[in-house]
Amino acid sequence: MRTIKFSIHQTMIQTELAGDLRLKWDRIQKAMQQMQADGCLLSVDVNLYYTTGHIFNGYFYLPAEGDPWFFIRRPNGLEGEQVIYIRKPEQLPELFAERGLKMPEKLLLEGDEIVYNEFMRIQKVFQPKEIGNATALLRSVRSIKTPWEIGQFRISAKKHTETYAEIPSCFRPGMTDLEFQYEIEQRMRKNGSIGLFRSFGANMDIYMGSVLAGENAECPSPFDFALGGGGPNPSLPIGANGTILKDGTAVMVDMAGNYTAYITDMTRVFSIGKLSGFAYKAHQTALEIEHRIEETAQPGTPCAELYNLAAEIAGREGLSPYFMGTKQQAKFVGHGIGIQINELPVLTPRSKEVLQPNMVFALEPKFVIPGIGAVGIENSYLVTDTGLEKLTIFKEEIIELY
């Protein structure tokens, strides 16, 4: 086994991640061998971070067997075994030949992540007999977290809950949802939020998470998030929109747990004064859904079954019209988390996935109550060998703000 060394500005960094990276490469290689692929060429930030612990402008090439290669354009100054500086991908065939590296006949490219013209350029460079989907493979491999990754989630979860404990101190009567959010953001940053919030797929813009107050919770969004909100500007139609936090309304806080590259997801509901009995009942139903899924879920459980269980409890309580939205209802109740907020698996009725040990996902049964706002809960869970471990431990009842 080779170690991977990067040196940045003459400071040699023997990465502490060497073992973790090797574990990930082994899993990717095993998956490639099963599909008779000869190698994958990765260039998208999240996949580079996953496979190298770094983000660079260039390519990571992993053959189905043997050590990976790092073809780097920028930044200057990275050094290490199998690190080669390039100016353009057209140099790769010659570099492969010089190093005795076989050109792949079946090459995997990130077809759901890189733009068409970049894909065509790489295809022309390699001219492989066949191209497979590296995005699908990486998303599948990435859904089972490594011990190091699980450690990163634990760091994020701890800081996430510490920040949520500070949320009541962010409130002042008469403020808007945006003003409330700015205060929460500042506490997030001071607690180490790195700011960035990555998601998979086009047009999934959001900023640090979402605060939904009162009627704004009903507003449908173009995005595939659980709930919507009108947003602060037509160019960002999601989340807080300047709603004044009025007595008798709910404020749902679903701000990011981006304290490491691995994002935890967590929602708590706050109330300005007291809410209607119906809102508390819906919140209790969300908690019941959470508890029932906590009891049921274990390795082997189909994700569709968990969605159906949630929808069934909502229906039994007569809350289907409010479940995961009103005017527009999301058709999932949970989703994998990781370097991106929307990884695999997805807890949706059409899912074919089953839970596996070391998956990490967010469970978010929520109801939108017209005139009041959104209620419900969201926590992040690790799938253990026997069930679920909750990562984001913090009181779950509706918290009254003064």
Give the binding site for its own copies (CB under 8 A).
8-9, 43-45, 49, 53-57, 73-77, 109, 111-120, 133, 135, 178-179, 182, 185-186, 189-190, 194-196, 198, 202-203, 205, 207-208, 218-224, 228, 232-237, 260-261, 327-328, 339
- The first and second tokens of residue 203, run together, are 């047009």
Nearest Cα to Cα of residue 373 among 401, 353, 337, 346: 401
Write down the least CB distance from residue 76 to its own copies, Å: 5
Q: HEC states along 191-228?
A: CCCCCCCCCCCCCCCCCCEEEEEHHHHHCCCCCCCCCC
Q: Which two tokens stand for residue 23?
A: 């574990």
Give me the least distance between CB of 227 and its own copies, in Å please. 12
**264 - beta bridge partners?**
257
Minimum distance of its own copies from residue 54's CB (angstroms): 6
CB of 319 to its own copies, least distance (A): 20
For its own copies, give the closer residue by CB, 69 or 262. Answer: 262
CA 85 to chain centre: 31
Q: Which is nearer to its own copies, 113 or 290 (CB)?
A: 113
Q: Would you say 232 or 387 has its CB closer to its own copies? A: 232
Torsion angle of C-alpha atoms 383, 388, 393, 396, degrees rounded to 10: 130
Of 194 and 354, nearer to its own copies (C-beta) is: 194
Dist. CA 56–CA 83, nearest whole Å: 12
Alpha carbons 376 and 282: distance in angstroms, whole number: 7
Please state the closest distance from residue 221 (CB atom) to its own copies, in A.
6
Return the number of the residue (156 or 379) whose C-beta is nearest its own copies: 156
The smaller minimum CB distance to its own copies, of residues 12 and 393, is found at 12
CB 272 within 8 A of CB 249: yes
| Of residues 67 and 179, the one with the C-beta less far from its own copies | 179
Q: CB 56 → its own copies: shortest distance, Å? A: 5
Contact 16, 25 (CB under 8 A): no
Tokens of 150: 């699980």
The C-alpha R_g of the chain, in whole angstroms, comes to 23
Element (H, E) at 39: strand 39-42
Least distance CB 351 / its own copies (angstroms): 19
Q: Are strands 130-133 and 106-109 parallel, antiparallel or unpaired?
A: parallel
Q: In the complex, what is the shortest distance from the CB of residue 179 to its own copies, in angstroms, rounded to a whole number?
A: 8
Q: Give the nearer residue to its own copies in terms of CB position, either 261 or 383.
A: 261
Quote the least distance from Cβ 45 to its own copies, whole Å.
5
Buried b (16+ CB within 10 A) or exposed e, 250-260: bbbbbbbbbbb
The burial class, CB within 10 Å (0-12 / 13-18 / 19+), for 200 is: buried
Between 227 and 377, whose beta carbon lies closer to its own copies? 227
**Considering beta carbons, is residue 1 or 115 the nearer one to its own copies?**
115
Contact predicate 12/302, CB 8 Å: no
Rounded CA-CA distance 135/150 in Å is 22
Minimum distance from CB of 72 to its own copies (Å)?
8
Under 8 Å between Cβ of 126 and 102? no
